[in-house]
Amino acid sequence: MKIGIDCRIYSSKFTGIGRYTHELVQNLIQINDEKKRPHEIVLFFNAPEYYDYTPPNPAVKKVLVNARHYSFAEQTKFLRKLNKENLDFVHFPHFNVPYFYNRPYTVTIHDLTISLFPGRGNKIWKFFQYLVYDLIIKNATRKAKTVITISQNTKKDLIEKLNVPEEKIEVIYNGVSDSFTLIEDPEVFQKTLNKYKIKKEFLLYTGVWRYHKNLPRLISAFGILRQKKNLDVSLVITGKPDLDYPETKEKVKELNLKDDVIFTGLVEEEELIHLYNAANIYVFPSLYEGFGLPPLEAMKCGTPVVASNSSSIPEICGKGNAIFFDPYKVEEMADKIEKVYKDADLQAELIEKGIVRASQFTWEITGQKTYDAIIRATLTAE
Same domain, 243 and 118: no
Same domain, 348 and 374: no
What length is written for the chain?
382
* pLDDT computed for residue 13 by the predictor: 63
Same domain, 308 and 371: no
Residue 214 lies in a domain: yes
Same domain, 332 and 287: yes
Same domain, 299 and 260: yes
Q: Find the mean pLDDT for residues 14-26.
A: 84
Would you say residue 205 has pLDDT above 90? yes
Would you say residue 104 has pLDDT above 90? yes
* pLDDT computed for residue 128 by the predictor: 78
Candidate ranges 51-55, 131-135, 143-147; pick with highest mean pLDDT: 143-147
Residue 181 lies in a domain: no
From the centroid of its chain, how far is CA 24? Answer: 14
Closest CA to 274 of 238, 230, 305: 238
Same domain, 302 and 376: no
Q: What's the CATH code of the domain at 159?
A: 3.40.50.2000
The answer to whether 126 touches 118, Cβ cutoff 8 Å, is yes
Under DSSP, the state recorded for 146 is E
* pLDDT class of 381 with cuts at 50, 70, 90: low
Residue 62 CB contacts under 8 Å (≥ 6 apart), including other chains: 42, 43, 45, 51, 54
Q: How many domains are there within the chain?
A: 2
Side chain identity, residue 139: N
Same domain, 284 and 191: yes
Would you say residue 125 has pLDDT above 60? no
Same domain, 74 and 117: yes
Residue 271 lies in a domain: yes
Q: How far is residue 72's CA from residue 131's CA, in Å, rounded to a whole number?
A: 15
Closest CA to 137 of 102, 161, 172: 161
Residue 57 lies in a domain: yes
Residue 182 lies in a domain: no
Residue 199 lies in a domain: yes
Residue 339 lies in a domain: yes
Would you say residue 49 has pLDDT above 80? no
pLDDT tens for 216-270 read 999 999 999 999 999 999 999 999 888 888 999 999 999 999 999 999 999 999 9
Same domain, 167 and 244: no
* pLDDT computed for residue 71 by the predictor: 86
Q: How far is residue 375's CA from residue 371's CA, in Å, rounded to a whole number?
A: 6
* pLDDT class of 52 with cuts at 50, 70, 90: low
Least confident of 46-50, 56-60, 161-165, 225-229: 46-50
Strands (DSSP E) contained in the chain are 2-7, 40-45, 60-64, 89-92, 105-109, 146-149, 169-171, 202-205, 234-238, 261-265, 281-284, 305-308, 323-325
Q: How far is residue 272's CA from residue 125's CA, in Å, rounded to a whole number?
A: 34
From the centroid of its chain, how far is CA 53? Answer: 22
Burial class (CB in 10 A: 0-12, 13-18, 19+), 12: middle
Same domain, 171 and 248: no
Same domain, 370 and 278: no
* pLDDT class of 17 with cuts at 50, 70, 90: confident
pLDDT tens for 68-83 read 888 899 999 999 999 9
Residue 180 lies in a domain: no
Same domain, 170 and 211: no
Burial class (CB in 10 A: 0-12, 13-18, 19+), 166: exposed
Q: Find the mean pLDDT for residues 50-67.
A: 83
The domain in which residue 164 lies consists of 2-175+362-381
- pTM of the prediction? 0.93
